[in-house]
């Protein structure tokens, strides 16, 4: 995908969620299925324009994110969606989000300015995390924990620009989604009794962690395939 294509995709992705999330707040369960269908169609079209390796990476991320959504929302209850379910547009949304972050981080203008962008996001996320700790009524300790994870990826990870871009996009989407009431974080995490903001200030670390896990899984899938003999080698 060209730079112009990447910009168009990211802009379309943002516009889509600016419309879709408010629509979800007034939708019934059946109407929510229409939003989900549109989201999966959007993802299918976007993936059709990508290289095979990117498709695999995004689809693995969708599987990872879905497992974490089921655990975090349905089982644990760290956050809940408006209707108490896991909307079917969420897994596809994760795929679109990840693809948008990958495409944005690959833009030449961001690549040329990677270091100042990463530093700015790290400084801004630190200031926001401190504000969350000082904000009443409870300190956002989950925000602090997730911020620490983000900083670890920024300092030691392989793709700091991707992590910085995904942090900003995640935080923007979280603020927008929780602002509309599409989902809401529990003030205190069940079991851990850890106070959390709505959203936690460091929640942008989620995609850094999921990217790391996704790349590990993709690497394990690719290694056996690369080691397997081709048909000509097997005959020889």
pLDDT > 50? residue 203: yes
Cα 123 from Cα 51, distance rounded (Å): 34
Q: What is the mean pLDDT of the chain?
A: 94
Question: What pLDDT shows up at residue 221?
Answer: 86
DSSP state of 82: T
**What pLDDT does residue 229 have?**
54
The fraction of the chain above a pLDDT of 90, given in percent, is 91
**Can you give the pLDDT at residue 198?**
97
pLDDT bin (cut points 50, 70, 90) of residue 232 is very low
Task: Give the mean pLDDT of 11-25.
Answer: 97
CA distance 145 to 129: 10
Q: What is the mean pLDDT of residues 7-20?
A: 97
Hey, is 86 helix, strand or coil?
coil
Res 174 pLDDT > 50: yes
H helix or E strand, kind and range, residue 188: strand 188-189
Chain mean position to CA 206: 6
- State the pTM of this model: 0.92
């Amino acid at each position: 995908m060209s730079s112009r294509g990447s910009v168009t995709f990211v802009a379309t992705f943002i516009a889509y969620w600016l419309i879709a999330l408010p629509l979800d707040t007034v939708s019934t369960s059946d109407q929510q299925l229409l939003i989900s269908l549109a989201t999966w169609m959007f993802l299918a079209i976007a993936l059709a324009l990508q290289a095979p390796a990117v498709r695999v990476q995004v689809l693995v991320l969708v599987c990872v994110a879905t497992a974490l959504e089921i655990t975090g929302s349905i089982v644990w209850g760290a956050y809940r969606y408006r209707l108490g379910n896991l909307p079917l547009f969420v897994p596809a949304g994760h795929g679109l989000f990840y693809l948008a972050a990958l495409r944005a981080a690959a833009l030449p203008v961001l690549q040329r300015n990677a270091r100042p962008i990463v530093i700015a996001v790290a400084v801004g996320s630190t200031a926001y995390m401190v504000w969350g700790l000082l904000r009443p009524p409870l300190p956002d300790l989950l925000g602090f924990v997730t911020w620490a994870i983000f900083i670890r990826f920024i300092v030691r990870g392989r793709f700091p620009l991707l992590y910085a871009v995904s942090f900003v996009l995640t935080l923007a989407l979280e603020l927008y989604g929780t602002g509309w009431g599409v989902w809401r974080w529990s003030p205190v995490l069940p079991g851990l009794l850890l106070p959390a903001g709505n959203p936690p200030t460091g929640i942008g670390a989620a995609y850094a962690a999921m990217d790391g896990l996704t790349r590990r899984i993709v690497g394990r899938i690719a290694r056996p395939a690369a080691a397997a003999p081709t048909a000509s080698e097997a005959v020889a």
